[in-house]
Amino acid sequence: MRFYLSSHGIGNQPGKLASLFGKELRVAIILNARDDLSAADRENGLGEQVGKLRNIGIESEELDLRRFTNPMSLQSELSQYRGVWVPGGNAFLLRRAMYDSGFDKIIGGLLESDDFVYAGYSAGIVILGNTMRGLELVDDATAVRRTYGSNIVWDGLKLIDHFIVPHFRSDHPESSAIEKMVDYFRKEEIPYETIRDGEAILINNTTRELLT
């Protein structure tokens, strides 16, 4: 499995992200963590992501999970890309969209093929562990009901055996709330790892590197 897990944005070593994707630098942007934004704000955010990826040689386009209810159709669509780029926003919205579309059922198999990369930051990385518990101290869990009319999904994707905590002691608006979340993890004995803005964790099969 191959991951590029950044605290915020692309991080301090963008070349590492580009090299992980290899020569076929075409990725799908999953922006569903921002489904509660206005159409204009969401579109502006998408343009920003496309531009930042293009600056490091990666061509990208949005793949909106709300279009899919059949995991096989989604898998067929994702197989056309080298991987996914999953930006920040509300992690509970993102997780629900992944559940409704079947993304959570197929992503493990795609990653096992060794031809697919999962990359993202903030909301895009906090969903990878075993649970979403504790995230309600940072993100608005009630947005799921308001946006989708659905219940919260409290299970993580279970692709990583611990919780990766972004924005730790960084110059970020959520950093103070992140401290409360870390306290919760300590109390509940939930395994976690903190990274600061600018840092990223690169996992390439058996190798793992903290990029600072």
For every residue of 112-180, DSSP letters joined together read: HTSS-EEEEETHHHHTTSSB-TTGGGTS-TTHHHHHHS-PPP-B---SSSSEEE-STTSSSTTHHHHHH
What domains appear along the chain, each with residue ranges and CATH number? 2-211 (3.40.50.880)
The structure's pTM equals 0.94
The token pair that represents 142 in the structure block: 């009630």
Rounded to whole angstroms, the Cα distance separating 135 from 13 reads: 27
Could you tell me which of 159, 172, 86, 162 has the C-alpha nearest to residue 124? 86
For helices 103-112 and 91-101, what crossing angle results, to 10°? 80
Residue written as tokens 């600061």?
196
Q: Which of 11, 40, 43, 41 is nearest to 29 (CA)?
A: 43
For residue 167, the model assigns a pLDDT of: 86
Render pLDDT for 113-138 as a digit per residue (tens, 0 to 9): 878 999 999 999 999 999 999 999 98
Give per-residue pLDDT as tens, 29-58.
999 999 999 999 999 999 999 999 999 999
Closest CA to 117 of 154, 83, 75: 83
